[in-house]
Structure 1
Amino acid sequence: MNTQTRRLSYFFSGQNFTDGVRITVAILLPAVLLTQLGHFEQGLTMATGALCLSVTDTPGPAAHRRNGMLAALVLVFGTALLTGAVASNAWLLGLEIAGLSFLLTMLLVWGARAGAVGTAALLNAVLVLAHPPTPGQLLPHAALLLAGGLCYVALALLVYQVRPYRPAQQALGECVHALARFLELKAKFYQPETVLKDDYRQLVAQQVVVNEKQEAARDFLFRTRQIVNESTSQGRRLVLTFVETVDLYERVSAGHYDYAAVRDTFGPTGILPAFAALIRHVATELDHLGVAIQANHPYSGVGPKLSAEWELLQARISALDDDPATAANTRVLKKILVNLRDIIRRVGNIRRYFDESQPAVPTPSRAVDHAQFVAHQEIQLHALSQNFTMKSAVFRHALRMTLACTVAFVVGENLGRGQHNYWILMTVSIMLKPGFSLTRQRNTERIVGTLVGGVLGAFVLWLLPWPDVRFGVLVVFMVVAYSFQRTVYLVTVVFLTAYLLILFSFLGLSYLGVAEERILDTLMGCAIAFAAGYFLFPRWESDQLTDYMATALRANLVYLRQLADRLAGRPLPPNEYRLLRKNVYVSGANLAAAFQRMLTEPKSKQYRPTETYEFVVLNHILSSNIASLTGTLREAAPAVPAFAPESRRALTSALAALQKSLLLIAPAAEVPALELAPAEPEVSAVLTDDKSLLEQLTFLQKVSGDIGKVTDVLVK
């Protein structure tokens, strides 16, 4: 299976395509059935209710999705009644739009899913303005919206009941796919022709993706009672395979070296491309595993070929030992080779997912205390009142949304040029995001996508005059649009605009007039959203980067402390170590994501991007090397290397440098104790290379010092 075939397999077996098909069916089914019975308008209203509910149906545990959709049902019904009741009075309608914009946006204080519920209700209020019901139609109209929403909820829950493990398989497959891409990028460091700076930038960006996929899979697996609590082979294999992928990610991240020195020393030998090839082949094997898990297909694997390739590489390194020019330096290649052997072994462990003969009884050390690995978000009313302050990002965004929607409503009411002026308000409510970087990106994609989609829709209508064929194209466009709404928004806008033009042609409207009106309304709505994001209470990423830096520093400081404890003979319990490791990876990914967002903001709002990038990379290098040394010590247990005075000094110096950097960035931060405890009496020297241990600790000291130098520049 080549790369393009794997990508197609990932797409068609993934959660996004599944959701796209389900949303399309839920929207079209009531509309088509009622149209056949001669009630087209009622069917369209039910389809609108299903569309609004789909906004809240984001990936996650079934219970959370169900609760979110039920809350959205209540709000959709309520906003329909309220909007219909005041629709005849422009002043009351304007006040209602302003009030709903603020209150529904404030739901973000309870998390992304609650925010999606608010977005669904606000979208419904705007769509009611398309054809405001008369007083006599108000209750039936709201009831039809409710019925459409209920149909969507019933379909979503039915799909889950029929295939309860399918979403977990999809989440796990996407997690493995992201990790395979991360490993593939690591191969570039062994290609002498690539630029290391660009390699690091791509690797850090992929680190963000890996963290997002792992958090999504962790949230689904560890919050789903059926998977965690029930003693089934399927649930056990899902959980244990996910744990293996996280352990594998640690080993891949731990394989960090001084690549510039490695290239200078071994570039002329021609052995580095062989390392890159083996790493790519391991990544390909991992990617095949991800496809098989996600598609729920059996997989035979090519493990023996990887082992044979590894042995050939080992033989080439042995040959270098006979060369006086490289013999003294091959130790780093041997370390890389040992790490690759461990990675290949762990990829083999992931293959066990396809062994259905595994016992259903969970392994205690790996199947307990899952709750501590997921964040808990409780609905507490006092959280709402606590955010009524300009220091709250949600409150500032709610004010921004209120003012922008009010302006959009006033502009739409005073244009008086078309029956779809509500598109301006709808565009603002969808385009305006809490961060300016995402608002600008979405605005650009919305404008370009609307223009391209308008041309595509007009071309289809001009080329295909047959209604049945047009309807078939409409269905395909809907599936594509809803399949990409969480990944490639530009694709969603293109096909959404095209299918809306086809839909309006069935209503007897001129598609050229509709296309012109939609493009103009989109341009006005995007302009309002962009201006609001830039001028109204903006909070630039550079203002928040120090918080992310402090969190990452503290996580690495605690991570380094556990390394010191291991050297002193006091290892952590496995779950406690995994929790520390998770905090390090999450904080590092959050920092990298914030840095990427900052780069998309106006240059005048960016603060020292070069030094910030250096901080992000050094933070990644530090955590990778701590993980590498920790893994070495875990494998050496129960014996550990002797904690020599030179090693103690290097580790103390590294801790002191990180502590100083943390206090510079966040003076009020709590930091772990700096003084190292004496080694436990039973600690004995293991037969390892003590010089190698000292070199690794010295490197940690150097990286920590470099972080301190960059921090000095950043806080000036």
Structure 2
Amino acid sequence: MKQELLLFLKTYDFRKGILFATLGFLLVAIGFTLFPNTPFGITLGMGILLSAISDVPGTKKHTYIGILTGIGLAIVSFCSVHLTKHNPWLLGTVISILIFTNSYICVYGLRASMVSFSGLLAIALGFVPLSPEIELYKSAFFILIGSGVYISVSFIINLISPKQIGEQLLVECMQLTASYLKTRASLPLSNNRDPLLKKLLTLQIRINEKHESLRAIVLRQQSKVMGSGYHRRQLLIFIELVDILELALATPINYKDIDKRFKDHSEVLQPFGTLLNTSSELLVDLSFKISNKKISHKTSELRAILSKIHEAIENYKQTLEATKERRDNVILLRNLADYEEQQIQKLETIESILSNDFNLHEAEDPDQPTKFITNQDYSLRALRDNFNFKSVAFKHALRLMLCVITGFVIGTVFEFQNAYWIIITILVIMRPNYGITKQRTFQRIIGTFIGALFSYLIIYSTPNIYLYAVITFIAMIFAFAYIQRDYLKAAIAITVNIIFVFAMVSDDAFGIINSRIIDTIVGSLLAVIFNYFFYPAWESSNLHRVLQGSLKANQKYLKEIASIYVNKKQPITKYKLSRKTAFMQLGNLHAAFQRMSQEPKSKQVKTKQLYDIIIIQHTFLSAAAALGTYIQSHKTTEASDYFEDYINAIINILEACVMGLNKQETQLDEALENIKKADTYLSDIYNKLFSQREKEFLQGQVTISESLRENLKEIKLVYDQLKYLYKLSVKLEKQVIIFSNQS
């Protein structure tokens, strides 16, 4: 707990919170001192706030372009509201255009959505009453000054500490990967695997998100600064983390088969779980020390556990009679041990990099790193293509516009004390998806009540204005530190901050608390109602497209695996790209399922069937990754035509799944016939090798020859994984057809 707190205090988000709070207090104080009885102190603070919102981690170029664009939209929105708010009809028209335009920008992705939020929030801030005698252009100028100060200080801090964002992302990625390893370790001996599988899928989504963020920062930096030792060190750690995830996913375990094989000998599996748990603990430990050069070597402990694994395999081998089943099980265990040894090597590499024992120049350069970066399309075509009712972004922009206008009318007609709080609540809560909107509504209301209760107790206990200032400052820090990490905590901090700001300048603090609660409830209810009834974007309407994307990604991944096995020395760039896409598409599918599960029951479509499809897809990807990882890390024999026939048949079944989603029929007779022939061929090879080993044993050769052992391991793993992939693809096709016919 102590380490986690210290880690949070070192994050970019926390330091950004300190930066914003400090600058905000200083500039507001300076503004009120130099320009008393004017709103210039407030507008300076607005400039900092609106700049901080669009400050999304990334390359320096993208970060500062985003901030400048955000503040530009904000000033236009702020001035437009002030210039028209004396004419209700004109104001309504202007607000409608501004809300739709700013919101629609989110078609360009996460950074664009935060930039657009700067413009949206400025619309609400435009209703904040300023002194009537102060010219509008001066207020806009002071907003610009506040923004300039924020950008300047942020630039200086990034010059002093350029490593911070990359380090934070690496730390978070390492800890999520450690959780994945720990959860995976619990699977073989668990009696109830469904909750663990759900947790694995959720973790994989979060890890994929971290990988994308790291690619955007680390790979772009590396492509521009190939000679930088620090950036190269970050890149190499990232590469090892991606491989660790693949190895964890690739551990070739059919759990039902494992249960059957080792029902009476579960003790042989325990060291494997111990090794994964210890690897998880080591990865967490390394994450805490990523910015600390004093690294203590602990991978020797993993090597000791690996020795115990080999001992357990030998004991298992000696305990049972020399049957074909026993030899199959021993080969399976040895393949598992190989994967664990590769995992240890990855952890040893990370440890060496962090302790400066790694030769950065001897490490292999990544193949064309910029290919792995997901580039955002900022062309006007994206705006044009989304300008229709099939687009989630278009419907969200239209829905948000109508909701804000309704909130504005309610606040005006019923003369709410601070009607713009209703608008801010709507802007913060409403999301394109109903489930996320409902979740944030709950968090916003609970956070507001908790923050209001805390504020009430403090204000009721003491009128000390200096204490209020300290609480305001601390709350502001945590509001910005948590705004993108934990919205419930952010909502609490924001509520506390707002109430104490008003408590310092108003005699009616309790009235402010009541007003805050009422405005939050009204804004939250409006957001939920409009998300449900006005142009709703139910997740079920998007499921076919997402599922199709995942199926096609698995097809491509399997093709690249087969290509490497057949061509041997083929460059692995395409393989890694297909692996990245397969991981991300599976994550997208599960994320869509999670969003749908938060929607009303009446809007959900075949959740059980879809979840079964996701589990099969995850298992399929695991089996494919096991095959791909083995092929990359071992010297393999020549691939036969039958191997290609097997792979092509599985790919054809996946294609049948895609066609089934589109209500198209396909013929698989030839593919199934090829599977039978290939299965017979591969089975014969394995039996011949097994018979060869039997002859050696009868002739007194107790220890198997190294070449025969490797050939047996190869054919055993390749044959088992092909059979497993085929079985999964057939099962997947049946489930997809059922889902397609009933959805």
User: Fold-level match, TM-score > 0.5?
Assistant: yes
| Cα drift, residue 699 of structure 1 | 0.8
| Cα drift, residue 687 of structure 1 | 2.9
Quote the Cα distance in structure 1 between the aligned partners of 2:551 and 2:266.
38
Q: Deviations over 1:17-63 (max 9, x none)?
A: 22222222232221133345564742222112211121111121121
Alignment-derived partner of residue 397 in structure 1: 396
Alignment-derived partner of residue 254 in structure 1: 250
Instruction: Go from structure 1 to structure 2 and tell me whether the alpha carbon gap of 1:376 and 1:494 turns closer, same or farther (over 3 Å shift).
Output: same
Residues 13 and 481 in structure 2, CA contact (< 8 A), matched pair in contact too: yes
Quote the Cα distance in structure 2 between the aligned partners of 1:315 and 1:221.
41
Q: Deviations over 1:168-217 (max 9, x none)?
A: 12112211111111111101103334x11111111111110110111111
Q: Which residue identity is paired with 1:416?
A: E
Q: Does structure 1 residue 353 correspond to structure 2 residue 353?
A: yes
Instruction: Go from structure 1 to structure 2 and tell me whether the alpha carbon gap of 1:362 and 1:125 turns closer, same or farther (over 3 Å shift).
Output: farther
> Which range moved further: 198-207 or 10-19?
10-19
Q: Does structure 1 residue 655 correspond to structure 2 residue 647?
A: no
Q: Secondary structure of the residue that 1:391 maps to in structure 2?
A: coil
Alignment-derived partner of residue 696 in structure 2: none
Alignment-derived partner of residue 681 in structure 1: none
Residues 190 and 275 in structure 1, CA contact (< 8 A), matched pair in contact too: no
Instruction: Go from structure 1 to structure 2 and tell me whether the alpha carbon gap of 1:456 and 1:465 turns closer, same or farther (over 3 Å shift).
Output: same
Alignment-derived partner of residue 93 in structure 1: 91
Residues 453 and 495 in structure 1, CA contact (< 8 A), matched pair in contact too: yes
Alignment-derived partner of residue 381 in structure 1: 380
Alignment-derived partner of residue 693 in structure 2: none
Identity of aligned residues (%): 25
Quote the Cα distance in structure 1 between the aligned partners of 2:569 and 2:655.
22
Alignment-derived partner of residue 423 in structure 1: 421
1:74 maps to which of 54, 72, 75: 72
Instruction: Go from structure 1 to structure 2 and tell me whether the alpha carbon gap of 1:655 and 1:417 turns closer, same or farther (over 3 Å shift).
Output: closer
Q: Does structure 1 residue 687 correspond to structure 2 residue 685?
A: no
Query: What TM-score, normalized by structure 2, do the two folds share?
Result: 0.89
| Cα drift, residue 362 of structure 1 | 8.2
Q: Secondary structure of the residue that 2:318 maps to in structure 1?
A: coil
Instruction: Go from structure 1 to structure 2 and tell me whether the alpha carbon gap of 1:344 and 1:522 turns closer, same or farther (over 3 Å shift).
Output: same
Q: Does structure 1 residue 276 correspond to structure 2 residue 273?
A: yes
Alignment-derived partner of residue 553 in structure 2: 555
Q: Aligned ranges for residues 453-464 of structure 1 at < 5 Å?
A: 453-464=451-462
Q: Which residue identity is paired with 2:573?
A: N
1:634 maps to which of 629, 632, 636: 632
Q: Aligned ranges for residues 326-341 of structure 1 at < 5 Å?
A: 327-328=326-327, 329-341=329-341
Instruction: Go from structure 1 to structure 2 and tell me whether the alpha carbon gap of 1:378 and 1:654 turns closer, same or farther (over 3 Å shift).
Output: closer
Quote the Cα distance in structure 1 between the aligned partners of 2:529 and 2:369.
44
Alignment-derived partner of residue 343 in structure 1: 343
Q: Aligned ranges for residues 212-361 of structure 1 at < 5 Å?
A: 212-224=209-221, 228-266=224-262, 268-271=264-267, 272-293=269-290, 295-324=291-320, 327-328=326-327, 329-356=329-356, 361=361
Structure of larger gyration radius: 2
Q: Deviations over 1:62-103 (max 9, x none)?
A: 211100111122222222221111122222222111111111
Quote the Cα distance in structure 1 between the aligned partners of 2:281 and 2:439.
32
Alignment-derived partner of residue 705 in structure 1: 730
Aligned length: 700
| Cα drift, residue 360 of structure 1 | 6.1
Q: Deviations over 1:108-163 (max 9, x none)?
A: 12222122212111101211202145374211111111111111111222211111
Quote the Cα distance in structure 1 between the aligned partners of 2:309 and 2:431.
50
Q: Aligned ranges for residues 493-642 of structure 1 at < 5 Å?
A: 493-569=491-567, 572-637=570-635, 639-642=636-639
Residues 453 and 497 in structure 1, CA contact (< 8 A), matched pair in contact too: yes
Instruction: Go from structure 1 to structure 2 and tell me whether the alpha carbon gap of 1:378 and 1:708 turns closer, same or farther (over 3 Å shift).
Output: closer
Q: Deviations over 1:475-499 (max 9, x none)?
A: 2222222111112101110111112
Residues 50 and 149 in structure 1, CA contact (< 8 A), matched pair in contact too: yes
Quote the Cα distance in structure 1 between the aligned partners of 2:273 and 2:32.
59
Residues 564 and 572 in structure 2, CA contact (< 8 A), matched pair in contact too: no
Alignment-derived partner of residue 698 in structure 2: none
Residues 565 and 571 in structure 1, CA contact (< 8 A), matched pair in contact too: no
Residues 278 and 310 in structure 1, CA contact (< 8 A), matched pair in contact too: yes
Quote the Cα distance in structure 2 between the aligned partners of 1:220 and 1:598.
31
Residues 274 and 305 in structure 2, CA contact (< 8 A), matched pair in contact too: no
Q: Secondary structure of the residue that 1:190 maps to in structure 2?
A: coil
> Which range moved further: 526-535 or 5-14?
5-14
Q: Which residue identity is paired with 1:351?
A: E
Quote the Cα distance in structure 1 between the aligned partners of 2:220 and 2:307.
42
Residues 468 and 504 in structure 2, CA contact (< 8 A), matched pair in contact too: no
Quote the Cα distance in structure 2 between the aligned partners of 1:334 and 1:618.
25
Q: Does structure 1 residue 439 correspond to structure 2 residue 464?
A: no
Quote the Cα distance in structure 1 between the aligned partners of 2:263 and 2:35.
74
Residues 103 and 116 in structure 2, CA contact (< 8 A), matched pair in contact too: yes
Q: Aligned ranges for residues 659-670 of structure 1 at < 5 Å?
A: 659-666=655-662
Alignment-derived partner of residue 411 in structure 2: 412
| Cα drift, residue 371 of structure 1 | 1.6
Q: Deviations over 1:204-253 (max 9, x none)?
A: 1111011011111111112336x742412111111111111111111111
Q: Which residue identity is paired with 1:373?
A: F
Instruction: Go from structure 1 to structure 2 and tell me whether the alpha carbon gap of 1:458 and 1:234 turns closer, same or farther (over 3 Å shift).
Output: same
Q: Which residue identity is paired with 2:711?
A: L
| Cα drift, residue 307 of structure 1 | 0.9
Quote the Cα distance in structure 2 between the aligned partners of 1:176 and 1:250.
14
Residues 658 and 704 in structure 1, CA contact (< 8 A), matched pair in contact too: yes
- Which sections of structure 1, spanning at least 5 residues, go unmatched? 679-683
> Which range moved further: 518-527 or 127-136?
127-136
| Cα drift, residue 335 of structure 1 | 2.5
| Cα drift, residue 667 of structure 1 | 6.6
Q: Which residue identity is paired with 2:408?
A: F
Alignment-derived partner of residue 147 in structure 2: 149
Residues 650 and 726 in structure 2, CA contact (< 8 A), matched pair in contact too: yes
Instruction: Go from structure 1 to structure 2 and tell me whether the alpha carbon gap of 1:465 and 1:178 turns closer, same or farther (over 3 Å shift).
Output: same
Q: Does structure 1 residue 465 correspond to structure 2 residue 463?
A: yes
- Which sections of structure 2, spanning at least 5 residues, go unmatched? 679-706
Quote the Cα distance in structure 1 between the aligned partners of 2:15 and 2:102.
28
Instruction: Go from structure 1 to structure 2 and tell me whether the alpha carbon gap of 1:592 and 1:571 turns closer, same or farther (over 3 Å shift).
Output: farther
Quote the Cα distance in structure 1 between the aligned partners of 2:134 and 2:461.
42
Alignment-derived partner of residue 476 in structure 2: 478
Q: Does structure 1 residue 198 correspond to structure 2 residue 195?
A: yes
| Cα drift, residue 358 of structure 1 | 5.2
Quote the Cα distance in structure 1 between the aligned partners of 2:665 and 2:45.
52
Quote the Cα distance in structure 2 between the aligned partners of 1:297 and 1:511.
50
Q: Deviations over 1:290-339 (max 9, x none)?
A: 2222x445322311111112212321232122222894534333322221
Residues 182 and 210 in structure 1, CA contact (< 8 A), matched pair in contact too: no
Q: Which residue identity is paired with 1:687?
A: N
Q: Which residue identity is paired with 1:234?
A: Y
Q: Secondary structure of the residue that 1:687 maps to in structure 2?
A: helix
Residues 458 and 498 in structure 1, CA contact (< 8 A), matched pair in contact too: no
Alignment-derived partner of residue 160 in structure 1: 158
Quote the Cα distance in structure 2 between the aligned partners of 1:410 and 1:487.
33
Quote the Cα distance in structure 1 between the aligned partners of 2:36 and 2:254.
70
Residues 87 and 132 in structure 1, CA contact (< 8 A), matched pair in contact too: no
Instruction: Go from structure 1 to structure 2 and tell me whether the alpha carbon gap of 1:710 and 1:86 turns closer, same or farther (over 3 Å shift).
Output: same
Query: What TM-score, normalized by structure 1, do the two folds share?
Result: 0.92
Quote the Cα distance in structure 2 between the aligned partners of 1:541 and 1:129.
35
Instruction: Go from structure 1 to structure 2 and tell me whether the alpha carbon gap of 1:566 and 1:359 turns closer, same or farther (over 3 Å shift).
Output: closer
Structural RMSD (CA) = 2.7
Residues 620 and 728 in structure 2, CA contact (< 8 A), matched pair in contact too: yes
Residues 192 and 263 in structure 1, CA contact (< 8 A), matched pair in contact too: no
Quote the Cα distance in structure 1 between the aligned partners of 2:468 and 2:730.
65
Instruction: Go from structure 1 to structure 2 and tell me whether the alpha carbon gap of 1:228 and 1:622 turns closer, same or farther (over 3 Å shift).
Output: farther
Quote the Cα distance in structure 2 between the aligned partners of 1:695 and 1:34.
72
Quote the Cα distance in structure 2 between the aligned partners of 1:204 and 1:71.
36
Residues 27 and 44 in structure 2, CA contact (< 8 A), matched pair in contact too: yes
Quote the Cα distance in structure 2 between the aligned partners of 1:175 and 1:244.
11
Residues 562 and 571 in structure 1, CA contact (< 8 A), matched pair in contact too: no
